[in-house]
Structures are given as structure tokens and as C-alpha cells.
């Protein structure tokens, strides 16, 4: 790897999130509130071979962890084949999947056999009706089947990710923690963010980390454990009574109220091969054009290096500065790539 690869704030590039599809079978109100989107043309979606080639190049540049995401990654046919080819890559320490869980029960065995190391499953509510309301098309029982199937195959830890939205599921924080505690899943809460352009985000809809932790502490006292590693987005906690749900019992991703741009080592690859250096970017660098234009590995490496070296993103820091300023923060003033294309 190239030890000198640092961005303008001296941040190294360590984690790669690959969106394998922009399609999704849900329409979560906070992520994809519209019924229809302009989907990426199928020919423009990177093939598994193209993803693997890029993965090797990124690993040589310092990437240690890859997360497969989307859209809904399990909608991509034969995803286990991609996992099987990525898992053995030398230098890759962690290969994870973030999924809505709807198709996990039938895919978990093949993913496990292919070498997938960890799974995060999105689960915002334990109430079947509310689940349908939030996801518009989802069926809670399928997600629960997927979770337990994955657990029975030995995936550990499994994290359940909940986006907490005021007036929607903020009354379920304790239920989700208890569900994790009883069934040995790590419950992770994500502050509602202004991703994409259509969720009409307002800070009043966001439940801050302090409030979430306060609610949990009132029933299940917690001990703060810090971050898994310096650049991890989640601040982790253990139950003070020593009951272990998973390696980590509770986590909160507080990108709005306690942004972690200063230690952000994440880079994203969109389903159509754009390299994006921040979740809130409005454009990306077209690596597919290089791949399909016959560029050598050396040329692609040089392009990635120059994009990373020029990186100055600190969007969440700037949002907090604006939120705390007299002028306030206007999420619509800044156009962003939709989260489904760039891989949440
Ligand atoms: C975009 S999804 C893609 C993977 C998969 N479809 C899933 O739902 O897990 C990745 C993660 O982003 C989170 N997410 C989506 N929109 C968000 C928002 N507005 N604020 C915070 N997290 C969000 C989801 O809850 C999910 O955990
Ligand atoms: S959060 Fe995941 S499941 Fe929900 S709409 Fe977005 S991509 Fe689909």
C-alpha cells in the first residue's frame, strides 16, 4: 500500500462501501420516499468482475474493510459469488453486508459459505403495522426470519440498525434494546440524517444521541466503551450489569449532533462506478469510464490517489456549525447524490 495516501486533512483511506445496486424493494420514508426513481441503466451497473478489479486496487491503496450495500444489496442476483471472490483478497480484514433483511433468510447460508464476515440488518420497529408504514412494502416477519437464520448459521455479532425519527419510532428505543439483549443482537441507533434530496429532513425530526442514551440508561444502565477503532462511526456501549447481547450491546451513530468527519476514512463506490468521498457529496469521479476505456491498473490507481489526496469533505461538521449558527441550516440548499446510489 501507499503509506503516503492521505487527504487534505491527513485522513487515510481505509473503508470502502460498495453499492451493488441502486434498486430497493422497500421505500423507507427517510431514505427513498418516492415511488419511482430514475434507475441506473443496467448496462451502467458495474459487473462483479469490475468490482473485484477495483477492490484489489483499493486494497493495495490501504482499504482494509469493505461493506456491500445499496439500494438493497440482496436484490443483486448471486451476490454470494461476489462475496466469494472478495473474501479471500489479501489485505482485506473485514467484509460486511448491510441489508434490509427481507431476503436474508434464503441467502444467509450461501453468504456464510462464501466467506461473508459480518451482517448489519436494518430494523426500525418491532411493530408489524408500523414496519409496513415506514418501509411501505416490507414484511417484518421476513426480516425476523432472516435475522434468526443468520444467527443460527453463526454470524456474530449481528447488528440491528434503527433510524430513530421523532414521532415515528422514538417510543421503541427500549423495545429494540430489549429485543437485542434477549436475542443477542447489538442494537444500533442512527440519528436521522438529511441524506438525498427528498426526505424533507428537519432537525426537529432527528432524535439526538444524548436523548437516546438517556432513555436506554433509565432502564438498562450503560457503560461507554468508545469506538471499535478510531474511525468507526458508532460510539459503543455495554450493559452495566454484565449481560452481553453481542460483542457490543448498544451503539449510536451521531453524525448530526457529534459529527466524526475529522476521523472519516470512508470512501464509496456507486453502483455505476463513481468514486464518492462523502455521504453528502453531490458528484463523484467516474471510475467506470476508466475501467471500460481500457485504463491500466496503474492509471486507475493514480486516479484514485489524486481524488483522495484532494479530499476536503467535512459536511457533517459544517452542518453542525450551521445548525448552531444564527442563520441555521437549510438541507435543501445543497444537492446530494441519493443514498441508494452511493451506498449508505
Ligand atoms: C441506504 S441503506 C442500504 C442497505 C439496505 N437497504 C438497508 O436498509 O440496510 C443503509 C443504511 O442507511 C440508513 N439510512 C437510510 N436513510 C437514512 C437517513 N435519512 N438517516 C440515517 N440513516 C439512514 C438505513 O437505515 C440503513 O441502515
Ligand atoms: S433504507 Fe435500505 S431498505 Fe430502506 S429504502 Fe433505503 S435502501 Fe431500501
Q: Tell me: the pLDDT tens digits for 279-308? A: 888 889 999 999 999 999 999 999 999 999
Position 3 scores a pLDDT of 59
Atom of ligand 2 nearest to the CA of 138: 3
Residue 119 CA to residue 157 CA, distance in Å, equals 8
Ligand nearest to the CA of 342: 1
d(CA 340, CA 344): 7
H/E segment holding residue 158: strand 158-164
- Could you tell me the distance, in angstroms and rounded to a whole number, from the CA of residue 207 to the centre of ligand 1? 16
Pocket probe mutation, ligand 2, options 69, 122, 143, 168, max atoms within 8 Å of Cβ: 122
Which is more confident, 250 or 3?
250
Ligand 2 atom nearest the C-alpha of 72 is 7
Which residues, 6+ apart, have CB-to-CB distance to 295 below 8 Å? 303
Short-list 16, 28, 18, 64, CA closest to 193: 28
The whole-number pLDDT of residue 343 equals 61
Per-residue pLDDT band at 41 (split at 50, 70, 90): very high
Atom of ligand 1 minimally distant from the CA of 26: 6
pLDDT confidence of residue 285: 96
pTM for the predicted model, two decimal places: 0.95
List Cα–Cα distances, 132 to 128, 139, 167, 191, 283, in angstroms: 6, 6, 16, 21, 32
How high is the pLDDT of residue 230? Answer: 77
Closest ligand to Cα 99: 1
In angstroms, rounded to a whole number, what is the distance separating the alpha carbons of residues 163 and 186?
Answer: 14
pLDDT digits (tens, 9 = 90+) for 304-326: 999 999 999 888 888 888 888 88
Rounded CA gap, 79 and 62, in Å? 24
Contact between 135 and 27 under an 8 Å Cβ cutoff? The reply is yes
What is the per-residue pLDDT for 142?
A: 98
Considering only CA atoms, which residue is closest to atom 8 of ligand 1? 100
pLDDT digits 0-9 by tens, 154-206: 999 999 999 999 999 999 999 999 999 999 999 999 999 988 777 788 889 99
Query: CA-CA distance, 148 to 300, in Å (whole number)?
Result: 41
Residues with CB under 6 A from ligand 2: 24, 26-28, 31-32, 70-72, 100, 122, 340
Give the DSSP letter of residue 286: E
> Distance, CA 344 to ligand 2 centroid (Å)?
9
Tens of pLDDT, residues 71-93: 999 999 999 999 999 999 999 99
User: Which residue's CA is the closest to the ligand 2 atom numbered 7?
Assistant: 71
How many angstroms does the Cα of residue 163 sit away from the middle of ligand 2?
Answer: 11
Provide the pLDDT confidence category of residue 342 given band limits of 50, 70 and 90. Answer: low
Atom of ligand 1 nearest to the CA of 201: 19
Question: Strand 118-122 vs strand 94-99: parallel, antiparallel, or unpaired?
Answer: parallel
Q: Quote the radius of gyration of the chain (alpha carbons, Å).
A: 19
Q: Give the SS3 label for residue 319.
A: helix
| C-alpha span between 54 and 287 (Å, rounded) | 9
Instruction: Tell me the CA–centroid distance for residue 3 and ligand 2, in Å.
Output: 36
Separation of CA 309 and ligand 2 centre (Å): 31
Q: Which residues 6+ apart lie within 8 Å of 72 measured at CB? A: 21, 23, 24, 25, 26, 99, 100, 102, 103
- Ligand 1 atom with least separation from CA of 31: 16
Is residue 341 over pLDDT 80?
Answer: no
How remote is the CA of residue 162 from the centroid of ligand 1, in Å?
9
Report the candidate in 201, 256, 208, 254 with the shortest Cα–Cα distance to residue 227.
254
pLDDT at residue 223 is higher than 80: yes
Is ligand 1 within 6 A of the CB of residue 255?
Answer: no
- Cis peptide leading into residue 285 (ω within 30°): no
Task: Give dist(CA 29, CA 93) in Å, integer.
Answer: 34
Q: Which residue has the cell 429494540?
A: 176
Q: Among the atoms of ligand 1, which is closest to the Cα of residue 120?
A: 9
Q: Closest Cα to residue 87, out of 116, 61, 58?
A: 116
What is the per-residue pLDDT across 96-143, written as a single tens digit (0 to 9) for each?
A: 999 999 999 999 999 999 999 999 999 999 999 999 999 999 999 999
Beta-carbon neighbour count of residue 210 at 10 Å? 12
- Other beta carbons within 10 angstroms of residue 77's beta carbon come to 9
Distance 26 CA to ligand 2 centre (A): 6
Amino acid at each position: 500500500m501507499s503509506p503516503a495516501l492521505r487527504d487534505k486533512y491527513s485522513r487515510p483511506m481505509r473503508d470502502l462501501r460498495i453499492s451493488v445496486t441502486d434498486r430497493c424493494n422497500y421505500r423507507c420514508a427517510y431514505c427513498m420516499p418516492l415511488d419511482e426513481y430514475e434507475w441506473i441503466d443496467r448496462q451502467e451497473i458495474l459487473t462483479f468482475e469490475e468490482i473485484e478489479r477495483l477492490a484489489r486496487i483499493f486494497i493495495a491503496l490501504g482499504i482494509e474493510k469493505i461493506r456491500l450495500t445499496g439500494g438493497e444489496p440482496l436484490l443483486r442476483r448471486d451476490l454470494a459469488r461476489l462475496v466469494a471472490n472478495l473474501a479471500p483478497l489479501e489485505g482485506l480484514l473485514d467484509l460486511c453486508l448491510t441489508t434490509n433483511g427481507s431476503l436474508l433468510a434464503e441467502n444467509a447460508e450461501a453468504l456464510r459459505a462464501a466467506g461473508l464476515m459480518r451482517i448489519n440488518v436494518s430494523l426500525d420497529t418491532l411493530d408489524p403495522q408500523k414496519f409496513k408504514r415506514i418501509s411501505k412494502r416490507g414484511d417484518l416477519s421476513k426480516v425476523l426470519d432472516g435475522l434468526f437464520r443468520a444467527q443460527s448459521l453463526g454470524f456474530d455479532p449481528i447488528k440491528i440498525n434503527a433510524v430513530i425519527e421523532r414521532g415515528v419510532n422514538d417510543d421503541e428505543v427500549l423495545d429494540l434494546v430489549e429485543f437485542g439483549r434477549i436475542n443477542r443482537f447489538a442494537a444500533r441507533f442512527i440519528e436521522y440524517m438529511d441524506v438525498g434530496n427528498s426526505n424533507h429532513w428537519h432537525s426537529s425530526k432527528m432524535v439526538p444521541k444524548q436523548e437516546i442514551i438517556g432513555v436506554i440508561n433509565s432502564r438498562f444502565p450503560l457503560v461507554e466503551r468508545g469506538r471499535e477503532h478510531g474511525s468507526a462511526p458508532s460510539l459503543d456501549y455495554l450493559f452495566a450489569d454484565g449481560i452481553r447481547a453481542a460483542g457490543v450491546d448498544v451503539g449510536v451513530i451521531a453524525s448530526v449532533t457529534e459529527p466524526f468527519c475529522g476521523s472519516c476514512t470512508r470512501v464509496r463506490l456507486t453502483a455505476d462506478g463513481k468514486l464518492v468521498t462523502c455521504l453528502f457529496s453531490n458528484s463523484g469521479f467516474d471510475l467506470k469510464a476508466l475501467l471500460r476505456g481500457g485504463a491500466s491498473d496503474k492509471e486507475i490507481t493514480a486516479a484514485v490517489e489524486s481524488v483522495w489526496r484532494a479530499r476536503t469533505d467535512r459536511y457533517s461538521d459544517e452542518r453542525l456549525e450551521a445548525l448552531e449558527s444564527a442563520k441555521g441550516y437549510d438541507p435543501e440548499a445543497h444537492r446530494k447524490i441519493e443514498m441508494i446510489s452511493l451506498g449508505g
